[in-house]
Amino acid sequence: MAPHRFRVPDADAGRRLDAVVADLPEVGTRALAERLVTAGDVLVDGRPRPKSHRLAGGEELDVELPAARLLVPVELALDVVYEDEHLLVVDKPAGLVAHPAGPDRGATLAHGLLALGAAGGDPERPGLVHRLDRDTSGLLVVARSDEAHARLTDAIRERRVERRYLALVKGTPGSRTGRIEAPIGRDRRDRTRRSLDTETPRDAVTWFEVQELIGSRALLEVRLETGRTHQIRVHLEAIDLPVSGDPVYGVVGDLGLERQFLHAHRLRFEHPFTGAELDLRSPLPPDLEAALERARTE
């Protein structure tokens, strides 16, 4: 990351922080500006502020900008479960990073999506309108044009895209269904973690329903109302239901798992161009299915 300092012009008094950052030539897009502000990479007079913060003019902005990079298409063996001229839905395997971040670590999902015609939005993650953590598997919807990206982004912002996950947790929920509402942001002491203990809170809502009680564990179906980084894992930890296998927020190594038991198993939304309802599902991958069977036979 490269640090840059900017002074807010007096003419920008009253404007939102993310809008002003997007106007910087070094940033250039609202999507990148929002990502930088949300990640805590923008400081206003030395302090992080939410993207909706109204500026007074004259403030100093410190912006950590990502080093420029040029993505090239890479042929990856991606499982495409739906595609048309406007969008595609892929079933992402665990272990595949969504897009480049930090030092070059080889091909990412974004490289593979370019080879499938993904386009629109941030050029560093073309076509992506939402993401999954590296070790979370499952369904992602991807745009193939700027217009498709804009329409899908609006649908997610307006909560018209239903995203459901399966999660195996350690512990027994106090009810069959539940709603977790707790703001999430970058942890005030450890910038690699998300937390409820944060200086940059963003509203976050997660719903869950018990699918199966398995001894000291439970299989949950989880629905995202918002989509903050690490939201499900942070929220479930907060109510004492840590995700099995999660090395950061949950129970590392539980049931022999080498990653968190979290799978995006269902996407349902209205096609942004045709209006047709798409309801797509993905079965548990073999490693999670095997861990579930081990839990049942313990």
Question: pLDDT, tens digit, for every residue of 170-181?
Answer: 999 999 999 999
Q: Where are the beta strands (DSSP E) in 85-235?
A: 87-92, 137-143, 162-170, 177-181, 185-186, 194-195, 205-214, 217-224
Confidence of residue 3 (pLDDT cuts 50, 70, 90): low
Confidence of residue 101 (pLDDT cuts 50, 70, 90): low
Q: What is the CA radius of gyration of the chain?
A: 20
| pLDDT for res 199 | 87
| pLDDT for res 192 | 81
User: Regarding predicted confidence, which is higher, 91 or 104?
Assistant: 91
Instruction: Check pLDDT > 60 for residue 295.
Output: yes
| pLDDT for res 11 | 86
- Is 133 one of the catalytic residues? yes
Cα(282)–Cα(277) distance, integer angstroms: 17
| pLDDT for res 139 | 98
CB–CB of 176/209 below 8 Å?
Answer: yes
Give the homologous superfamily in CATH for domain 79-158: Pseudouridine synthase (3.30.2350.10)
**Which architecture characterizes domain 163-265+288-297 according to CATH?**
2-Layer Sandwich (3.30)
| Tokens encoding 227 | 């989509």
> Residue ranges of the domains in the chain?
2-65, 79-158, 163-265+288-297
Cα(33)–Cα(19) distance, integer angstroms: 8
150-164, 187-201, 254-268, range with the lowest pLDDT? 187-201
| pLDDT for res 105 | 59
147 backbone φψ class: left, alpha, beta (φ>0; ψ -120 to 50)? alpha
User: Regarding predicted confidence, which is higher, 123 or 291?
Assistant: 291
Confidence of residue 291 (pLDDT cuts 50, 70, 90): very high
| Tokens encoding 241 | 């239901």
Question: pLDDT, tens digit, for every residue of 268-288?
Answer: 999 999 999 999 999 999 999
| pLDDT for res 28 | 65
Instruction: Check pLDDT > 80 for residue 129.
Output: yes
| pLDDT for res 23 | 82
Dihedral over Cα of 230, 220, 281, 283: its sign: positive
| pLDDT for res 69 | 53
Query: Among residues of the chain, what percentage have pLDDT more than 70?
Result: 94
Average of pLDDT values for 140-153? 95
Domains 79-158 and 163-265+288-297 share a fold: yes
The stretches of the chain forming alpha helices (DSSP H) are 17-23, 30-38, 109-115, 146-157, 231-238, 286-297
Task: Find which of 3-12, 124-133, 159-168 is predicted with most confidence, using mean pLDDT.
Answer: 159-168
User: Regarding predicted confidence, which is higher, 27 or 141?
Assistant: 141
Average of pLDDT values for 149-157? 94
> Smallest Cα–Cα separation from 291: which of 266, 262, 270?
262
Confidence of residue 103 (pLDDT cuts 50, 70, 90): very low
Average of pLDDT values for 197-211? 94
Question: pLDDT, tens digit, for every residue of 108-126?
Answer: 899 999 899 998 887 778 8
Question: pLDDT, tens digit, for every residue of 36-84?
Answer: 898 888 999 999 999 999 999 999 999 887 654 567 788 999 999 999 9
Average of pLDDT values for 239-254? 97
CATH of domain 2-65: 3.10.290.10
**pLDDT mean across residues, the chain:** 91
Active-site residue (options: 18, 133, 135, 246) = 133
